């Protein structure tokens, strides 16, 4: 029985799938780090007193949220490379850029909502002790707002992780692409895709559970 399991495609597909999972995690983590920086800037920009800055940040958010990520991927990898900059962007680089830009738009709303949720009295408290607006944001508002951002940022991680499966259209060696490569060679689509689902769930389910516990602990 054990020998039969070991010889099955459930097990034999794992080396290729683990390679794909590694790239999935690398693209997701780097993309979200960059996306958080972009999203924080855009989110704070939408709260700015400058109408021009609010318009630019708002335009970015609405365009990205209003178009499918698959279109964004193809635009960056194919459209941008061929028609605008004149040279090919590496697949991995294009994937990271796509995740960063896409996640950044959603993170900007997380940031904006978290900052706006802080009571106005906190701003007044900062001014009353002589802090500038920037210092009040840095030392009083942002630490409280960031605490409230953690659960939705975790949810964005799960969403972006699953979105990496779309990168198979440009032959990025992420989890789904490696699964397709394996079952195309072995004609074992059912077993391979089961294992692809299992590996995704091994990341997303513990993350969701941890986020629920964290949310209760933070009481946000």
Residue 217: per-residue pLDDT: 78
Question: What pLDDT shows up at residue 51?
Answer: 93
Measured between alpha carbons, how far apart are the two ends of the chain, in Å?
A: 49
Q: How far apart, in whole angstroms, are the C-alpha atoms of residue 82 and residue 139?
A: 45
Closest to 10 in 3D by CA, of 170, 191, 202: 191
pLDDT of res. 65: 94
Residue 88 · residue 138 · CB < 8 Å? no
Question: Does residue 39 lie in a domain region?
Answer: yes
Whether 160 is covered by a domain: the verdict is yes
pLDDT score of 130: 78
Q: CATH number for the domain including 41?
A: 1.10.3720.10
In total, how many domains does the chain have?
A: 1
How far is residue 139's CA from residue 123's CA, in Å, rounded to a whole number?
Answer: 11
Q: What is the DSSP letter of 212?
A: H
Q: Is residue 140 part of a domain?
A: yes
Q: Say if CB 57 and CB 47 are below 8 A apart.
A: no
Indicate the pTM of the whole model: 0.89
Range of the domain at 160: 24-174
- DSSP label at 164? G
* pLDDT for the residue numbered 2: 41
Q: Is residue 9 in some structural domain? A: no
Q: Considering the domain boundaries, does residue 112 fall inside one? A: yes
Give residues with Cβ within 8 angstroms of 65, minimum separation 6: 105, 106
Residue whose C-alpha is closest to residue 30's, from 38, 20, 19: 38
The pLDDT value recorded for residue 84 is 63
Q: What is the pLDDT along the chain (220 residues), one digit of tens a residue?
A: 444 445 477 889 999 999 999 999 999 999 999 999 999 999 999 998 899 999 999 999 999 999 999 999 999 988 886 666 666 788 999 999 999 999 999 999 999 999 998 888 787 777 788 778 788 888 888 888 998 898 899 999 999 999 999 999 998 989 999 999 999 999 889 999 999 999 999 999 999 988 888 877 776 4
Asked if residue 191 belongs to a domain, the reply is no
Contacts for 27 with CB less than 8 Å, ≥ 6 apart: 92, 95, 96, 99, 164, 167, 172, 174
Question: To which residue do tokens 């840095």 refer?
Answer: 138
Closest listed residue to residue 75, CA positions, set 106, 98, 109: 98
Q: Residue 92 falls within a domain, yes or no?
A: yes
Is position 179 within any domain? no
């Amino acid at each position: 029985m054990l020998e039969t399991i070991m010889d099955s495609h459930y097990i034999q597909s794992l080396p290729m799938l683990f390679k794909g999972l590694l790239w999935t995690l690398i693209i997701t983590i780097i993309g979200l780090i960059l996306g958080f920086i972009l999203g924080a800037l855009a989110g704070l920009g939408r709260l700015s007193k400058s109408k021009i800055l609010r318009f630019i940040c708002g335009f970015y958010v609405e365009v990205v949220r209003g178009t499918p990520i698959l279109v964004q991927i193809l635009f960056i990898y194919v459209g941008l490379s061929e028609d605008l900059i004149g040279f090919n962007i590496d697949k991995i680089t294009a994937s990271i850029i796509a995740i960063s830009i896409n996640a950044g738009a959603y993170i900007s709303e997380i940031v904006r909502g978290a900052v706006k949720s802080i009571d106005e009295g906190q701003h007044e408290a900062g001014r009353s002790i002589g802090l500038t607006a920037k210092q009040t944001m840095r030392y009083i508002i942002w630490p409280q707002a960031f605490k409230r951002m953690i659960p939705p940022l975790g949810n964005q991680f799960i969403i972006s992780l699953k979105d990496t499966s779309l990168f198979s259209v440009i032959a990025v060696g992420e989890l789904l692409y490696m699964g397709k490569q394996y079952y195309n060679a072995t004609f074992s689509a059912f077993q391979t895709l089961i294992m692809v689902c299992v590996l995704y769930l091994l990341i997303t389910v513990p993350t969701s559970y941890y986020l629920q516990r964290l949310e209760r602990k933070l009481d946000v």
